[in-house]
Amino acid sequence: MAENPVLTFTDRGIFCPDGGFFIDPWRPVDHALITHGHSDHARWGHRRYLATHQALPVMRQRLGQIDAAGIAYGERLQIGGVTVSFHPAGHVPGSAQIAVERRGEVWVVSGDYKVEPDGLAEGFVPVRCHAFISECTFGLPVFRWQPQARVMEDITRWWAANAAAGKMSILGAYSFGKAQRLMAGVERIGPILTHGAVEEMTATLRAQGYPLPETVRAVAGVDGKTHPGALVIAPPAALGSAWARRFGPAEEAFASGWMAVRGIRRRRALGTGFVVSDHADWDGLNSAIRATGCERVFVTHGYTAPFRRWLAEKGYDAGIVATEYGEEAEEAAAAPVADPAAPGAEAGGAP
């Protein structure tokens, strides 16, 4: 690494010496720039926060009273000796890549991202840069997603078949981002009920103007008798629980990128898994990196070792950065403990 780089990697997070700030730090710092509201990137305890205007409501919902300022996508802000700007990452509503520029040299921290538009999150915008810090949660060729429209059709057919059989449909999905993406994308053939954790995030996003359908919070007295044939969207941890059983006869499914691995579906004893991820697949990672025009890539949280080797073979100056991203509490059980396709590789990342 060149002397006096734009960004450095510390035990607290990614640090900008010339700006005096950290990006998505995992230990308390004075000044934190945050890519998005997931709890492995937006953590409690920092003195000051900066995030997109769209990300702040979810962050405040999760973190409580924080000293936080908002910034518009594309707005340029001088901090110390650098200029920062936030650009859509396509991961979840409000998510951003953070560009840091110093005397014409640009580094971009991607946070988490996906390149396929989902109709809800602000679509990914590649940023030209010299160095790109990229996640690689699904950085193996085995992970290639089907178009979203096709997956939503599959979910709609599953829901319709269950309703015709007199059953409820309970779909496990991360409560912020994926749950709302599913309810907005699936064809509405009946009522949609939501777990409290999902409904809180949905209400927060709906209040911001994101186009989300009507949902019913699954409180006591809301069940399969009051809403027969409904689709229930809940955090993955609710699958198979007493909370889920109160709906009566039901089929359960899990929406996650990890559902591409049959062994994980068997481990969770799920007959049905829908491959839906808010992270880029193999092709998405490669296309995003190419679009930046960068020469240097640092990969974080995911299949870092094989993906770094792949990038090096393609001529990139590629390295691995150790971070503490990637394990959202309600998703951790889904991720493999070892690489299902290449023994010895790393795994991680909330799907």
Average of pLDDT values for 201-215? 97
350 pLDDT exceeds 50? no
Q: What is the DSSP letter of 150?
A: H
Where in the chain are all domains bearing CATH 3.40.50? Answer: 148-274
As given in the structure block, the two tokens for residue 297 are: 């890539």
Where in the chain are all domains bearing CATH 3.60.15.10? Answer: 8-143+278-334
Average of pLDDT values for 37-41? 95
At how many degrees (to 10) do helices 196-207 and 178-185 cross?
70
Q: What is the pLDDT of residue 273?
A: 92
Q: What is the pLDDT of residue 325?
A: 84
The per-residue pLDDT for range 84-116, each reduced to its tens digit, is 999 999 999 999 999 999 999 999 999 999 999
Is this prediction's pTM over 0.85?
yes
Q: Label residues 167-205 b or e (16+ Cβ within 10 Å = b).
A: bbbbbbbbbbbbbbbbbbbbeeebbbbbbebbbbbbebb
CATH topology of domain 148-274: Rossmann fold (3.40.50)
On whether the 8-143+278-334 domain is CATH 3.40.720.10, my answer is no
Phi, psi of 108 (to 5 degrees): -125, 130
